[in-house]
Chains A and B, each alone.
Chain A
Amino acid sequence: MLNDPIRPAGGARIPVKLHRRVCLVQTEDGVLAEELMARKKLAQDIVGRLTECVLLVRPGRVESVVQELQKMGHTPQVRSS
């Protein structure tokens, strides 16, 4: 969350907040995101919904999230950036 902004003038440096080592799950559509959040075991590890298709995962819980997704029959791509 950033303060209410003042738009930078053209060429000026853009104010930005850097979030490092964030655990996320991105779904193909919002319905799938709803489906994941409705899963009780996943809900414990999902902190909340950043956007319609992006869920924020509790730090350190990504492995159990991937395991639970696989139990649900999904085949998530795990992208290490």
Chain B
Amino acid sequence: MYLADPAFWTELQRHTLNCYDEALLRQVAARLVKPRNQWPVEDLIERGVATLENPAVIDRRLHDLTPPARRVLALIGLSRQPYWQLGNLVELTLALGHDDGLQPVLELLEAGLMYPSLHRGSDTGNGNGFSDRKIKSFEQWLAAPGPMGLRVFAPPTIASRAIGEDLGLPDLSAEEPQIATLHPIQEADGLEWLLRLAVLWQQVHAAPLRRTLNGDFFKRDLERLQQDPLLSAAPADRLTDVPDLPFLTVALAELQGVVVQSDGELRAGPLPASWDNGLTNALETLWLDLLRLSAWTPLDGWRAGESAAGNPFPSAYLLAFLLLARLPEDATVRPETLERWIVTQHPYWTNESLRPSRQKPWLETFLLGVAYPARLVQARRGEDGWRVRLTPLGRWLLGAGDAPNLEAVPTQTLLVQPNLQILAYRQGLTSSLAARLTQFASWETLGAACMLQLQPETVYRALEAGQSFEGIRLTLEQHGTRALPPAVLDSLRTWANKRDRITVYPSATLLEFTSAEDLNDALARGLKAERLSDRLAAVANEGDIEYRLFRLAGTRDYALPPEKCVSVEADGVTISIDLARSDLLLETEVPRFAERLDHSASGRRQYRLTPASLSAGRSMGLTLATLETWFHQRAGQPLPAAARMLMTAGQVEAPRLQHHLILHVASEELADGLEQWPQTRELIEQRLGPTALVVAEENVTVLTERLHAAGFVLTKRVERD
């Protein structure tokens, strides 16, 4: 996880400090680094980054802060979420009883212990995702924060040093009335959200969800989510109703990267890597994302497309958990008690102009409907409603306890049936097993025992994701309560084999050798390539080619337009190929419509278009248009007449032999005149050439008279031999 990677944070700090104007950087460095000389900007940045890697220096800098600023850092440290909306931090500061919510945040920014989040998530002009625009002052940034909004971050190395700070929160269990009968404590297995995310992943993998411009879904997909029997169903151990449950799953999936936005659609992303590291890790990432949740709230349900700014719930969630962390370990509290404290302290709810619709209770929905299935809180029913407390996981996440061991002991928890159904008992299910099952089987029901179905498509999906037949078999055998039924094994093998029959390389790199011996030689010298033919080899990674072993005779890029490397001889049917400039396309195209000649010159290869070769081409789908395009692309000239004649033979009107009586005249102009003059025009059947006109036998007498009238004397007829 990037949160635990110190290199990620030092690099982020370096880039952020680089976005500060020199004056601002010197102002921040004066408190962070405390330089004794006028160091260059680059040195200040490097020393600033180095300072934050030194816990002793961080502690000294924390000591210099005012208590409210230290509390803000403590809140961030306790939340484990380094990124916060600035507004939420202001709300938290005010809720803790400070008069000015912004001042502590500004103090942290000026001390270099908190930074504005300037990374846009995609590359900008300078290639690292950061804007080239320099920040002159934090007041300027507050007024015009840019596309990322007013978001700040405090690296975990800093925030974690402040978590010992007393936040002054009360123990609310002392206010709770004592009751006689309490039901046993309930704790979820923590798999509910993971399984729902897995179901959504499968749904989106099958068909993406299309989004409207304002961030909502198109009606069809909206209904698809609302009516999905698994996503819309309440959990088996439901404690309360959750509004827009399928959409809450979508919101969490987006934050977890289980679905990713691309071209206006939500598509399946990778399943979170944290799932492979155990349930504790998977739930920790879920906790972090709950504090970023903005597309859904317990009061409004799904609020697609609404801005994250102005959403008070992340700060309210954190306050609720911190209040729970203040309870003695065995004490419980009613959600309404927690909520009462929050709405009297949190500036959003203390605002007098708050509409009545915003004053409805919401915390019980969140704690029992969202946090309980995430295994963050335990619940117990009492006479006066539900009471909650943190689970060991929740206490650990909030720094109030040691890390719990949530891992189920690997057990045989799957029952694979001959009809390709898998029964998965939840008590033995782990997050990593759930991830693997999600890839090669589809979830049919979620409950204490979940049902999955093996299908060809699901197995192909798993194979495409990198699993293998052996891997799937091992998973089912290791976790199966019984031996794998032979019918299931056969189906898996058949599907896996079928998939191996065809491999598509969308963008392969090929090496073409002059001879089979050269290819063998290259492979013997360590070339990492797969032999495709005696002279061709596919290279997995072009970077692996050791060019010092090779002399490049040419390079062809098939994404570029084809190169002109063909010349046409005078006969119009013989073509010569320049071998130094040709490519594989040409080598496979030409034999489809031309015959190779034996007497090719060195460096060139000759082919001839013949009636037989073109006929064979036509039978394989070659068209006149294709051939014309090919000559334009490869020879840079139109299809030669002779080639066109051969190509169209049999497709045009048959040639015929015919006798004609031809009138020869002295000049082209005279022929034009005869064709134009109405007296003679109707007697001319056809013009054969500039001075030759065809006359019908029966019109000869009339034509002779009319020519005579015009002043011409028709000479005598020349008869055939």
Write the nearest CB–CB distance from B596 to chain A, whole angstroms.
11
B550 touches A16 (CB 8 A): yes
Which of chain A's residues have a CB closer than 8 A to the CB of B500? 28, 77
A81 touches B592 (CB 8 A): no
Which of chain A's residues have a CB closer than 8 A to the CB of B514? 2-5, 15-16
Write the nearest CB–CB distance from A77 to chain B, whole angstroms.
5
Whether A13 contacts B504 in the complex (CB less than 8 A), given A7-B515, A24-B538, A50-B584, comes out as: no
B542 touches A20 (CB 8 A): yes
Which of chain B's residues have a CB closer than 8 A to the CB of A18? 509-512, 545, 552, 554-556
Which of chain B's residues have a CB closer than 8 A to the CB of A36? 502
Q: How far is B623's CA from A44's CA once the two chains are assembled, in angstroms?
A: 11
Does B640 have its Cβ within 8 Å of any Cβ on chain A?
no
A48 touches B577 (CB 8 A): no
Whether A77 contacts B512 in the complex (CB less than 8 A), given A47-B585, A47-B589, A48-B589, comes out as: no
Which of chain A's residues have a CB closer than 8 A to the CB of B522? 14, 16
Q: How far is B587's CA from A48's CA once the two chains are assembled, in angstroms?
A: 8
Q: How far is B549's CA from A14's CA once the two chains are assembled, in angstroms?
A: 6
Q: How far is B541's CA from A75's CA once the two chains are assembled, in angstroms?
A: 24
Q: How far is B588's CA from A49's CA once the two chains are assembled, in angstroms?
A: 6
Whether A25 contacts B602 in the complex (CB less than 8 A), given A18-B511, A20-B558, comes out as: no
Whether A25 contacts B584 in the complex (CB less than 8 A), given A15-B553, A17-B555, A19-B556, comes out as: no
Q: How far is B171's CA from A37's CA once the two chains are assembled, in angstroms?
A: 76
A32 touches B603 (CB 8 A): no
* Residue among B463, B502, B521, B555 making CB contact with A74, cutoff 8 Å: B502
Does B498 have its Cβ within 8 Å of any Cβ on chain A?
yes
A1-42 interface with B by 8 A CB criterion: 1-5, 7-8, 13-28, 32, 36, 40
Write the nearest CB–CB distance from A60 to chain B, whole angstroms.
8
Cβ contacts A64-81/B at 8 Å (1 or 0 each): 011001000011111111
Query: Which residues of B are in contact with A by a Cβ distance under 8 Å?
Result: 456, 460, 463-464, 495, 498-515, 517-518, 521-522, 532-533, 536, 538-542, 545, 548-559, 577, 579-580, 582-589, 591-592, 602-603, 605, 620-621
Which of chain B's residues have a CB closer than 8 A to the CB of A5? 514-515, 518
Which of chain A's residues have a CB closer than 8 A to the CB of B532? 24, 26, 50-51, 54
A23 touches B506 (CB 8 A): yes
12 inter-chain pairs at a CB distance below 8 angstroms, sorted by A residue, are A16-B514, A17-B511, A20-B542, A25-B503, A26-B503, A28-B501, A50-B536, A54-B536, A69-B502, A74-B498, A76-B499, A81-B509
Q: How far is B463's CA from A60's CA once the two chains are assembled, in angstroms?
A: 25
A24 touches B501 (CB 8 A): no
Tally A-B pairs: CB < 8 A.
211
A20 touches B503 (CB 8 A): no
B508 touches A59 (CB 8 A): no
Write the nearest CB–CB distance from B584 to chain A, whole angstroms.
6
Which of chain B's residues have a CB closer than 8 A to the CB of A1? 512, 577, 579, 582, 586-587, 605
Write the nearest CB–CB distance from B255 to chain A, whole angstroms.
27
Q: How far is B285's CA from A7's CA once the two chains are assembled, in angstroms?
A: 60
Whether A4 contacts B602 in the complex (CB less than 8 A), given A17-B512, A47-B588, A65-B504, comes out as: yes
Which of chain B's residues have a CB closer than 8 A to the CB of A50? 532-533, 536, 584, 587-588
B533 touches A24 (CB 8 A): no
Write the nearest CB–CB distance from A37 to chain B, whole angstroms.
8
Which of chain A's residues have a CB closer than 8 A to the CB of B582? 1
* Residue among A8, A58, A78 making CB contact with B464, cutoff 8 Å: A78
Write the nearest CB–CB distance from B468 to chain A, whole angstroms.
12
A78's nearest neighbour on chain B, judged by CB, is B504
B525's nearest neighbour on chain A, judged by CB, is A14
B533 touches A43 (CB 8 A): no
A77 touches B464 (CB 8 A): yes
The 7 closest A-B pairs by CB, nearest first: A48-B588, A5-B514, A51-B533, A19-B510, A76-B502, A13-B551, A17-B512
B509 touches A20 (CB 8 A): yes
A48 touches B592 (CB 8 A): yes
Which of chain B's residues have a CB closer than 8 A to the CB of A65? 504
Whether A77 contacts B592 in the complex (CB less than 8 A), given A18-B552, A51-B536, comes out as: no
Which of chain A's residues have a CB closer than 8 A to the CB of B545? 18
Q: How far is B503's CA from A25's CA once the two chains are assembled, in angstroms?
A: 6
> Other than the known A3-B579, A47-B589, what 10 A-B pairs have Cβ atoms closer than 8 Å?
A13-B548, A16-B550, A20-B558, A21-B508, A24-B505, A26-B532, A74-B501, A75-B498, A78-B504, A79-B505
Write the nearest CB–CB distance from A47 to chain B, whole angstroms.
5
